[in-house]
Amino acid sequence: MKFRWPPFFSVIGLATTLCLMTSDIHALVLSVKSLGMAAVGVAYPQDSLVGGFNPAGTTEVPDRLDLGFTWARDRQRTKIHGNLIPIIDGSFDAARTKDAYAPEFGLIKHIGIGTFCDVTLGIVAYNRSYVKTTYKTSFPIFGTSKLGLEYIHETLSPSIAMKFWDQLSVGISVNYMLQRIKVNGLQLIDIPTRTAHVGHVTNRGYNYSQGVGVTFGILWDITDCLKIGATYQPETSMTRFGRYTGFFSQRGKFNIPQKASGGISYRFLPCATIAFDVEYIPWSDIAALRNPLKAKYVTTTNPLLPGFVPSRRLGKSKGIGFGWRNQTFYRVGADYALNDQLIVRAGYRYAKTPIRRSQTVTNQLLVDVIEHYITCGATWKVTRCQEISAYYAHGFYNKVKGKNSIPLAFGGGESDISHEQNVVGIAWGMFY
């Protein structure tokens, strides 16, 4: 029997056609409470969505249910200048569809099994990343239809965690991951000299990929006020995008990279806590995202020239990709309880964009270059068992100016890409 992926997710209240975490990949993660503090969560559990940060953290949260909703607006642009073909130059809006929305869901239940050990079960459903570019025009160097790409990555994670002697927690989550992709406007790339699988590069509609991975987590209560935590997620193997075997390397393979994170939180006042997280993601481990610049046939850092070599054509095991560098995220946030009913939060996140200046032309399809985010949020306890939370995040405008980005075979010149974003979210939580 053929399994229909989108209806499966709708059963748990997710609509993949409306899903977003933020357009900037891994810019923030999940939980309206944590997002108010720039998405710190490895060592500071606040609600049932903590399983998406650190499955061990579920032992620190009482039995509760959380439902959240996020709205984001993007401003993304591409500017091409210096091309030998006059009609190529210009400034182009990459975010014709500027608004996007996302739900999130979390549930935690404690099961006591002994005097020295507590077991906690949890489940969380959320959007891990979403990228969408929709240009109003075609790009003659790429194709004849309007250029655009949409990528969605959904995650459903049941988890189990154990806490020993009220100090040390360990946990594991099993992550069911679903990806959806659509690519348009690359007809001039969908030819034998550019791809190994003609007819499987562009304008093939939506295509799905799925896989199962795990996340390991640990959380240590050093004192009543100080916690440290760490997580590790190995690389997750995903099924191939069958309709886009000529677009992604390894015949449509787009695995989820491994990542490692660590965090610390400190309650420096009875009513205030500060937390810090660091996360490392080696994007270049993924064939679809890397683009080695050192090879005997490469005489420039331009990302497209290797594609003229048969072994580096799109869809090959060593085919050209988006040329991302590895990325480290730094997040810091604090909260303060003004009274028994109201808690306020603020945070800051920094990560150097993974997009190199030489790779801007291929990344016109992504335009994810925000490096700095600030966030704020609050929680209002409506009753003893229910609360409402909200947050706002601003991704500051950033531009990556191309350098040797467009080869002479495509008219030369440079491609500059820029991006900024505003995000708001609201959530309801209930203890039970």
Is there a domain that residue 29 lies in? yes
Is there a domain that residue 7 lies in? no
Alpha-carbon distances, residue 60 vs 30, 35, 166, 199, 386 (angstroms): 17, 18, 10, 52, 18
Which residues on adjacent β-strands are paired with residue 345? 335, 377
Is there a domain that residue 179 lies in? yes
This prediction's pTM: 0.89
For residue 306, what are the contacts with CB-CB under 8 A and spacing of at least 6? Answer: 291, 292, 295, 297, 298, 312, 320
For position 244, what pLDDT does the model report? 96
Q: Tell me the mean pLDDT in the region 368-374.
A: 94
Q: Tell me the mean pLDDT in the region 211-232.
A: 97
What rounded mean pLDDT belongs to the chain?
A: 87
Q: Tell me the mean pLDDT in the region 16-45.
A: 70
CATH number at 325 reads 2.40.160.60
Is there a domain that residue 5 lies in? no
Alpha helices in 241-393 (DSSP H): 249-252
Is there a domain that residue 13 lies in? no
Per the structure, the complete domain to which residue 172 belongs is given by 19-303+313-431
For residue 318, what are the contacts with CB-CB under 8 A and spacing of at least 6? Answer: 249, 287, 292, 311, 312
Is there a domain that residue 3 lies in? no
Is there a domain that residue 4 lies in? no
Q: Percent of the chain beyond pLDDT 70? A: 88
Is there a domain that residue 406 lies in? yes
pLDDT digits (tens, 9 = 90+) for 312-335: 788 888 888 888 999 999 999 999
How many structural domains comprise the chain?
A: 1
Q: Tokens 């937390």 sit at which residue?
A: 275
pLDDT digits (tens, 9 = 90+) for 254-303: 999 999 999 999 999 999 999 999 999 999 999 888 876 554 444 445 55
